[in-house]
Amino acid sequence: SIEPANYSLTSYNTSDHLTRYFCSTCGAHVLIYRVESKSWALTTGTWDRTEGVVRWSGCQWVAATLDGGLSVWLRGTGEAGVDGTRRALKRWMLTAEEGGDGELVPDGTLETLPPDKKRKSDKLKAQCHCGGVKFYITRPDQGSKAVRAPFPDLMAARHSHSPANPENKTWWLRSNDTKYLAGTCTCTSCRLASGCEIQPWAFVPDCNIFQEDGKPLDFNMGTLKRYDSSKNIFREFCGVCGATVFWHSTERPGLMDISVGLLDPEEGARVESWLEWWTARVSFDELAVSRSLVASLEDGLKNWKQNC
């Protein structure tokens, strides 16, 4: 049987029906306990291999995303059947329920944010589940262009390209400098520090991140905790609910990775009014513990780009 007390875990009740457990040191989500069924679920990001072990079914709670979230990119598995076709992944409005019989998302819906939901704002709110970490982001400005940073693996794979940016291109600014770049990562460090196999990040300069009261970003704000995942690389998470918050490094001073899941849900999970998603590559895809899952994501991103 599983006994969380035997490990350095922090518990957090996301509802009366569910308790989550995350590492008290690095914030990685590890376990979920379902009160009514007295059953456990494990996060697959903490496993050293899921290929051939986990059978992906699809995405749950898609209705809450307003725009479909990552489910629009995960339409079929990377595993080809005997006839060469790929097994389709399902999208459930809420939970899949026992046996996967939950209500499915109707075809052609929940793929973009409805027009009546779109808003124009100069501030984008962000917060964790418990509310212990709150901040907001402003639109790109002149200060956003002053940052100097090498290219991320998302755009230039480290195993085959140099990250050098001698021309100081402001790659984190997109759509004529009106939006920020966002992308997905499957590196070992992100996976083990979050507990998730896929981590979505948005690249935002420090000068565009403010505390709820308007003061500049402060890593001591609220319930933030820091974890140094490797030399000169830092991560922040909420010490109460375990939400992944920031990634930053001395190599890229002045530029933050913000966990997209924190951003205002009323803008849609992909927050396309503020973010432009990179579709040409999944960062560190070669390190993924499920090649078929990443293949599905990569194909989905490219198809989505073509159809936009």
Contact 69, 294 (CB under 8 A): no
Radius of gyration, CA atoms only, the chain: 19
- The pLDDT, as a whole number, for residue 81 is 59
pLDDT digits (tens, 9 = 90+) for 103-121: 999 999 999 998 888 878 8
- The pLDDT, as a whole number, for residue 307 is 87
Query: Which residues, in sequence order, are bridge partners of residue 238?
Result: 224
Structure tokens belonging to residue 271: 């927050």
Count CA within 13 A, CB hemisphere, residue 152: 27
Domains of the chain plus CATH, in order, are: 1-42 (no CATH), 121-307 (2.170.150.70)
- The pLDDT, as a whole number, for residue 98 is 66
Structure letter (DSSP) for residue 92: B
- The pLDDT, as a whole number, for residue 150 is 97
The closest alpha carbon to 247, from 265, 272, 266, 228, belongs to 228
- The pLDDT, as a whole number, for residue 5 is 85
Contact 26, 196 (CB under 8 A): no
Contact 284, 156 (CB under 8 A): no
Residues in the chain: 308
- The pLDDT, as a whole number, for residue 99 is 67
Q: With a cut of 70, list the residues of the chain below it in pLDDT.
A: 1, 78-85, 98-100
- The pLDDT, as a whole number, for residue 84 is 61
Contact 31, 41 (CB under 8 A): yes
- The pLDDT, as a whole number, for residue 80 is 60
